[in-house]
């Protein structure tokens, strides 16, 4: 059913002192424009108050409806609206002279009746008090006021009434009953039953379940313990039986007696063997004694043998030494003769050597004289040379000194010549050239001189020429500095010439020649000087001294041998010969000496040997005698044969003893003592074992019997039997209660699941309705509603879930509006009245989105009335009829005036 507001008239209501009348609302989208502070929100509040606030109420809220600061005001609202085809007019006044009148088609309601009818029409519960109508109390209508600043809090609570209206709409769509109170009660009871047995959150057992489990656990433990005890008891009984049986067996078999008997037998055998063993020991002892005795007998005999050998040895040694002595004596004599001869030889060699030495000395002296002579000659020659060269050098230098043109002068000269040449050149350059071509027979004269007409005349200064047939011609050559150049050239020439004169030469060539000569003279002097140096490196004085020395030497030598010195060569040759001869003589001498020494040495050695041998011979003889005596003495004490006899006897004894021993051992071996020892050990052990076993048995039986007496009294088996029964019951009880718990859990979970499913299914129609709008503004996304509160929870875009809080403010605004649109359409489909009022609800949206939203609104406005209150008129220009608040005034309602006057 469509709901359309047609007209609003507000007076004395909060900001609007009024009266303000708005009419001309369209069927679809209508824009109510007004600046901030104009009272747009007041308009909304007025509609709300008109519909939902009890006219008769006296409360802070109703007081607040009056314009600020006016007491005794009478807020008044008139609302014309149509529901479907039915037209209604509502009039409400608050505070003073409150009233409510609802003019419906065919009926008029006043006061409370009017309020009730409003509730009925719009499906909201009557307000309980006069407070500001809360959203919950406005029924689903709370949804449809989308106010400024609250858009993005999409958490408007829908009260139960609101929800039931909405749900009622959805019910038909889904055909399911949510179950209402009864269903909730069942879930609650089941939950309660569950909680009696376990916590739903983490399945912790409590109550009977816990108790039964604990009991079961306890009894299980108890049974375990008792079973162990019973088993223990049985074991003990069995053990006791076992021991008793074994003891019986032992007794029957008379094991003890047998063991003892065996021991006795084995021991007897053992003793017998002991005897044999003893015998062997004795025999061994005997043998050892005889051995010792044999050793004792052997020793003297061995000593005797040694003695005999020693005597023999000594005698032989004595003889050998004598022979040696004789031989040595024989060798001694010839040596003396040899020595003599050697001495003589040495003497003659000495003589020869002395001679050779003298010859050598003479030759040496001759050579020295020759040498001195030669030296003198050489030195004198050198001296002469030196002196000559010296004189020459002096002469040359004197000549050179006479020439004035030395290097420096030459240089200067050249420079001057050069300068002259240069100056001249420059002058020539600046000169004037006269070329004559006289007529035949005519001549040119410079002074008295005739000038050669063939050659051009160069002039650099004024000249006067006489030209035959003409007269005089004076030419003053021009040129810049001709005078200067001329001067310079003259000066240079003069300088040159001056120097030449000073140097005493005619011209340059002469100068050059003089210079060259000077040079040559100096070079010659140098050459002579070099010669001097060569001949007399130490200086001429030194050379002279040397000459003097040589002369002297020669004079000294001449004293000894006045004969003229020989030739150097010959003297040298002579000396060499003498030297050779001398060396030979020395070698011969040396050889002879050596030989003589050898012979002397040999002779001494032989001498010594003789003495030694003599001594040895004496000693050896003595020793032989001693030994003989010793032997004789020993033999006197005991003859050789006797000793030998004793020894032989003892050897026999030893052999006998060995024989006896072997016999005894054989006997023992035959008896196998090792085995017998083993048997004795075994038998002893066996007996001990039997005894120990008997003891053990006895003790075990005694202990067990006493233990069993104690155990038996406990009545373990009876208790176990009882406990088993308890366990069986405990298990059954626990199983039963577990089954119940499981069933409760299953029941609870199933109920919850189905409930959630049912709730969730409510959200589907809303989502369906919103889908086309979503695709415009949030393409590719879906919405999720909280099933219990039907509030928007999150947006799912391309699979990613975005909670509302994370969306931009603008987006949330848009969603809020779209959601309300969907709800409104849902209600419309069900024939319930719906209209949407947006109070500056899209302030945060960008232009593009705003346009999109406006398209959506326009589309929706085809079916329901949408009022947009905005301060941004331009945003909505051209879209819908605009009612401007500021323009809307109306004449004061006469009835109002009346009301005032009357009260």
Partner 1 sequence: MTVSFIHTADWQLGRTFGQAGDEARGALHKQRFATVERLGTLAADRRADAVLVAGDVFDMVAPSDRTVLRAIAAMESFIGPWVLLPGNHDPALAEGVWARLRRLGAPANVMVAAEPEPILLAEGRLVVLPAPLRRKNETGDLTGWFDIAPSSPGAMRVGLAHGSIPSRLPEDADARNPIAEDRAARAKLDYLALGDWHGTLRIDARSWYSGTPEPDRAKGNDPGNVLFVRIEHPGDLPEVEAVPVGHYRWHDLDAVVHGSDDVWALAERLRGLGNPLNRHVVELSLQGTLDLARRTDLAGVLEDLSARLCDLRVDDASLIAEPSDDDLQAIGRGGFVGHAVDCLREQATGRNSEQAATARLALQILYLESVRGGA
Q: What residue ranges bind partner 1 (CB under 8 A)?
A: 176-180, 182-183, 186, 189-190, 192-193, 230, 233-234, 237, 240-241, 244, 704-705, 708-709, 711-719, 721-729, 739-740, 742-744, 746-747, 750-751, 753-755, 757-758
Closer by beta carbon to partner 1, 721 or else 887:
721
Distance CA 822, CA 140 (A): 13
Query: Which among 99, 56, 61 has a CA at the least distance from the CA of 77?
Result: 99
Q: CB count, 10 Å around CB of 620?
A: 19
Q: Say if residue 525 is exposed, middle or buried (CB neighbours under 10 Å; 0-12, 13-18, 19+).
A: buried
Taking the complex as a whole, the smallest distance from the CB of residue 8 to partner 1 amounts, in Å, to 42
Who's near 675: CB < 8 A, 6+ residues apart?
A: none
Closer by beta carbon to partner 1, 446 or else 743:
743
Closer by beta carbon to partner 1, 539 or else 715:
715
User: Hey, CA dihedral for 476, 477, 478, 481, is it positive or negative?
Assistant: negative
Taking the complex as a whole, the smallest distance from the CB of residue 224 to partner 1 amounts, in Å, to 15
Taking the complex as a whole, the smallest distance from the CB of residue 860 to partner 1 amounts, in Å, to 32
Tell me if 894 sits within 8 A of 42, measured CB to CB. Answer: no
DSSP H or E segment with residue 392: helix 255-402
Closer by beta carbon to partner 1, 181 or else 439:
181
Taking the complex as a whole, the smallest distance from the CB of residue 256 to partner 1 amounts, in Å, to 23
Closer by beta carbon to partner 1, 724 or else 859:
724
Taking the complex as a whole, the smallest distance from the CB of residue 233 to partner 1 amounts, in Å, to 6
**30 secondary structure, DSSP code:** E
Taking the complex as a whole, the smallest distance from the CB of residue 235 to partner 1 amounts, in Å, to 12
Closer by beta carbon to partner 1, 160 or else 343:
160
Query: Which among 333, 263, 151 has a CA at the least distance from the CA of 681?
Result: 263
Closer by beta carbon to partner 1, 219 or else 856:
219
Tell me if 410 sits within 8 A of 508, measured CB to CB. Answer: no
Distance CA 92, CA 109 (A): 12
123 three-state secondary structure: coil
Query: Which among 56, 41, 46, 55 has a CA at the least distance from the CA of 19?
Result: 46
Assigned token pair, 121: 């029409």
Taking the complex as a whole, the smallest distance from the CB of residue 198 to partner 1 amounts, in Å, to 14
Q: From residue 608, how far is each of 336, 338, 343, 424, 616 by CA, in Å?
A: 14, 18, 22, 126, 13
Q: Say if residue 295 is exposed, middle or buried (CB neighbours under 10 Å; 0-12, 13-18, 19+).
A: exposed
Both ends of the chain: CA-CA distance in Å? Answer: 41
**Facing residues of 466 across strands?**
445, 472
Assigned token pair, 806: 């994370």
Closer by beta carbon to partner 1, 84 or else 725:
725
The stretches of 787-846 forming alpha helices (DSSP H) are 809-829
Distance CA 2, CA 834 (A): 7
Closer by beta carbon to partner 1, 101 or else 708:
708
Query: Which among 808, 812, 825, 847 has a CA at the least distance from the CA of 772?
Result: 825
Alpha carbon dihedral 28, 34, 38, 39, in 10-degree steps, equals: 20
The stretches of 561-670 forming alpha helices (DSSP H) are 568-637, 640-670
Taking the complex as a whole, the smallest distance from the CB of residue 697 to partner 1 amounts, in Å, to 13
Closer by beta carbon to partner 1, 171 or else 412:
171
459 three-state secondary structure: strand
Alpha carbon dihedral 407, 413, 414, 419, in 10-degree steps, equals: 150
Which residue is associated with the tokens 């108050």?
49
Query: Which among 147, 37, 45 has a CA at the least distance from the CA of 842?
Result: 147
Question: ∠ at Cα 333 (331, 339), nearest 5°?
Answer: 110
Closer by beta carbon to partner 1, 239 or else 893:
239
Closer by beta carbon to partner 1, 348 or else 754:
754
Taking the complex as a whole, the smallest distance from the CB of residue 704 to partner 1 amounts, in Å, to 7
Taking the complex as a whole, the smallest distance from the CB of residue 830 to partner 1 amounts, in Å, to 19
Taking the complex as a whole, the smallest distance from the CB of residue 705 to partner 1 amounts, in Å, to 5
Closer by beta carbon to partner 1, 27 or else 761:
761
Assigned token pair, 88: 């209604």
Taking the complex as a whole, the smallest distance from the CB of residue 21 to partner 1 amounts, in Å, to 49
Q: From residue 874, how far is each of 22, 92, 870, 882, 887 by CA, in Å?
A: 19, 34, 9, 10, 16
Assigned token pair, 195: 């909680």
Taking the complex as a whole, the smallest distance from the CB of residue 185 to partner 1 amounts, in Å, to 8
Beta strands across the sheet bearing 800-803: 781-786, 791-797, 800-803
Distance CA 502, CA 416 (A): 14
Closer by beta carbon to partner 1, 207 or else 712:
712
Who's near 86: CB < 8 A, 6+ residues apart?
A: 104, 105
Closer by beta carbon to partner 1, 498 or else 736:
736
Who's near 397: CB < 8 A, 6+ residues apart?
A: 521, 522, 525
Closer by beta carbon to partner 1, 657 or else 727:
727
Taking the complex as a whole, the smallest distance from the CB of residue 714 to partner 1 amounts, in Å, to 7
Closer by beta carbon to partner 1, 119 or else 174:
174
Taking the complex as a whole, the smallest distance from the CB of residue 166 to partner 1 amounts, in Å, to 16
Alpha carbon dihedral 769, 771, 772, 778, in 10-degree steps, equals: 140
Taking the complex as a whole, the smallest distance from the CB of residue 724 to partner 1 amounts, in Å, to 5
Taking the complex as a whole, the smallest distance from the CB of residue 187 to partner 1 amounts, in Å, to 8
Closer by beta carbon to partner 1, 709 or else 798:
709
Distance CA 703, CA 709 (A): 10
Taking the complex as a whole, the smallest distance from the CB of residue 92 to partner 1 amounts, in Å, to 40
């Amino acid at each position: 059913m469509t709901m359309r507001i047609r007209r609003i008239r507000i007076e004395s209501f909060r900001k609007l002192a009024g009266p303000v009348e708005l009419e001309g609302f369209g069927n679809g989208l209508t824009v109510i424009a007004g600046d901030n502070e104009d009272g747009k929100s007041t308009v909304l509040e007025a509609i709300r108050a008109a519909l939902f606030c009890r006219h008769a109420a006296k409360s802070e809220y109703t007081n607040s409806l009056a314009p600020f600061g006016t007491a005794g005001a009478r807020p008044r609202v008139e609302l014309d609206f149509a529901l479907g085809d039915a037209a209604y007019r509502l009039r409400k006044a608050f505070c003073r002279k409150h009233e409510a009148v609802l003019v419906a088609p065919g009926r008029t309601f006043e006061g409370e009746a009017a309020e009730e009818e409003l509730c009925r029409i719009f499906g909201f519960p009557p307000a309980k008090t006069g407070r500001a109508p809360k959203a919950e109390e406005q029924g689903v209508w709370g949804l449809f006021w989308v106010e400024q600043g609250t858009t993005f809090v999409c958490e408007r609570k829908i009260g139960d009434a609101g929800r039931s209206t909405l749900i009622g709409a959805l019910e038909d769509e889904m055909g399911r009953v949510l179950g209402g109170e009864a269903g909730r009660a069942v879930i609650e009871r089941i939950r309660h039953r569950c909680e009696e047995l376990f916590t739903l959150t983490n399945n912790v057992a409590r109550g009977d379940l816990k108790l039964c489990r604990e009991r079961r656990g306890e009894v299980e433990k108890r049974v375990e313990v008792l079973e162990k005890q019973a088993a223990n008891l049985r074991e003990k009984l069995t053990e006791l039986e076992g021991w008793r049986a074994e003891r019986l067996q032992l007794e029957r078999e008379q094991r003890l007696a047998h063991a003892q008997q065996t021991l006795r037998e084995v021991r007897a055998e053992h003793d017998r063997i002991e005897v044999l063993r003893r015998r062997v020991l004795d025999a061994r002892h005997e043998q050892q004694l005889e051995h010792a005795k044999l050793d004792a007998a052997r020793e003297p005999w061995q000593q005797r043998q040694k003695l005999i050998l020693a005597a023999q040895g000594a005698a032989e040694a004595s003889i050998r030494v004598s022979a040696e002595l004789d031989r040595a004596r024989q060798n001694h004599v010839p040596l003396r003769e040899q020595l003599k001869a050697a001495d003589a030889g040495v003497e003659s060699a000495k003589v020869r050597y002395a001679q050779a030495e003298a010859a050598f000395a003479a030759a040496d002296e001759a050579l020295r004289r020759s040498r001195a002579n030669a030296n003198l000659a050489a030195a004198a020659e050198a001296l002469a040379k030196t002196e000559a060269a010296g004189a020459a050098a002096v002469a040359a230098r004197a000549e050179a000194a006479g020439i004035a043109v030395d290097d420096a002068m030459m240089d200067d000269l050249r420079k001057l010549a050069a300068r002259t040449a240069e100056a001249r050149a420059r002058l020539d350059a600046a000169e004037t050239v006269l070329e004559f071509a006289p007529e035949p027979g005519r001549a040119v004269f410079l002074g008295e001189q005739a000038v050669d007409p063939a050659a051009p005349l160069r002039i650099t200064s004024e000249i006067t020429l006489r030209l035959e047939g003409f007269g005089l011609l004076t030419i003053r050559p021009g040129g810049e500095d001709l005078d200067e150049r001329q001067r310079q050239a003259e000066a240079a020439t003069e300088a040159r010439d001056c120097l030449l004169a000073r140097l005493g030469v005619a011209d340059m060539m002469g100068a050059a020649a003089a210079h060259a000569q000077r040079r040559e003279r100096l070079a010659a002097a140098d050459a002579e000087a070099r010669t001097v140096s060569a001949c007399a490196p130490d200086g001429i004085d030194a050379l002279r001294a040397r000459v003097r020395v040589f002369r002297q030497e020669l004079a000294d030598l001449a004293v000894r041998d006045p004969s003229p010195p020989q030739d150097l060569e010959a003297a040298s040759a002579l000396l060499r010969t003498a030297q050779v001869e001398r060396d030979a003589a020395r070698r011969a001498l040396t050889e002879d000496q050596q030989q003589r020494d050898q012979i002397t040495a040999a002779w001494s050695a032989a001498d010594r040997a003789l003495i030694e041998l003599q001594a040895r011979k004496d000693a050896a003889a003595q020793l032989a005698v001693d030994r003989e005596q010793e032997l004789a003495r020993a033999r006197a004490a005991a003859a050789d044969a006797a000793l030998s006899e004793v020894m032989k006897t003892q050897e026999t004894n030893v052999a006998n003893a060995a024989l006896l021993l072997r016999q005894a051992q054989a006997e023992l071996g035959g008896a196998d003592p090792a085995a017998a020892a083993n048997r004795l050990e075994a038998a002893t052990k066996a007996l001990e074992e039997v005894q120990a076993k008997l003891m053990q048995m006895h003790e075990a039986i005694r202990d067990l019997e006493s233990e069993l007496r104690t155990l038996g009294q406990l009545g373990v088996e009876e208790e176990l039997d009882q406990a088993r029964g308890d366990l069986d019951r405990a298990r059954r009880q626990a199983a039963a209660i577990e089954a119940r718990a499981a069933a409760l859990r299953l029941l609870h979970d199933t109920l919850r699941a189905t409930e959630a499913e049912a709730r969730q299914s409510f959200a589907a129609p809303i989502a369906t309705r919103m889908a086309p709008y979503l695709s415009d503004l949030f393409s590719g996304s879906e919405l999720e509603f909280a099933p219990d509160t039907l509030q928007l929870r999150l947006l799912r875009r391309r699979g990613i879930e975005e909670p509302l809080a994370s969306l931009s403010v603008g987006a949330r605004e848009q969603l809020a509006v779209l959601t309300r649109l969907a709800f409104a359409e849902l209600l419309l489909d069900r024939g319930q009245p719906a209209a949407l009022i947006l109070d500056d609800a899209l302030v945060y949206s960008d232009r593009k989105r705003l346009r999109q939203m406006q398209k959506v609104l326009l589309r929706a406005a085809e079916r329901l009335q949408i009022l947009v209150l905005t301060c941004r008129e331009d945003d909505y220009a051209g879209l819908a009829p605009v009612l401007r608040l500021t323009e809307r005034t109306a004449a004061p309602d006469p009835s109002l005036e009346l009301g005032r006057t009357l009260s």
